[in-house]
Amino acid sequence: MHNDPTDTQDTTSLLNTASRIESSLTDINARIARLAHTLNASLATEEDIVKILNRDNPYLEPHAAEIASNSFDQHEHRLVHQWEELRGLLVLRGDMMARSIQDLGLDATLKMTFHMEKHLIREGFKPGADGFDMLRGQTT
């Protein structure tokens, strides 16, 4: 039997990619969980997340940042930015998860989400605090 060096390089490259994606998503999920806690934003259901993505919140309405800079106090201005950050991170996470499934496959992505959830729990968050439920209904 002959080992092709490109197979080893491809495997190493794939493992490095998976590690980078998992690390980035772990950080993003932790930030999402912290923001949700700070803003008292529910991420318990898909509907909750869709409302944020659709800007169904006074702090996410079009031109809220402009209004905040003109008429909101410093606390309200910060809230607008935190809500926008939460929304942006939810979008980014969705894009990264879709890309992960495309590049790494569903099984590898499921394993990553399991590790990411365990990381959040170790940091003191409740399961699902980041609003991500890809594991729902899965057994591991």
- DSSP track, 38-99: HHT---SSHHHHHHHHTT-SGGGSTTHHHHHHHHS-HHHHHHHHHHHHHHHHHHHHHHHHHH
pLDDT over threshold 70, residue 139: no
Domain assignment of residue 4, yes or no: no
Domain assignment of residue 6, yes or no: no
| pLDDT tens track for 23-63 | 999 999 999 999 999 999 999 999 999 999 999 988 888 76
Domain assignment of residue 22, yes or no: yes
Domain residues for the domain of 56 are 14-122
Domain assignment of residue 140, yes or no: no
Domain assignment of residue 70, yes or no: yes
138 — pLDDT class (breaks 50, 70, 90): very low
Count of structural domains, the chain: 1
Domain assignment of residue 9, yes or no: no
7 — pLDDT class (breaks 50, 70, 90): low
> What is the Cα–Cα distance from 54 to 30, expressed in whole angstroms?
22
Query: What Å distances lie between residue 81 and 44, 71, 76, CA to CA?
Result: 22, 14, 9
pTM: 0.82
User: What one-character DSSP code corresponds to residue 110?
Assistant: H
| pLDDT tens track for 88-128 | 999 999 999 999 999 999 999 999 999 999 999 999 999 88
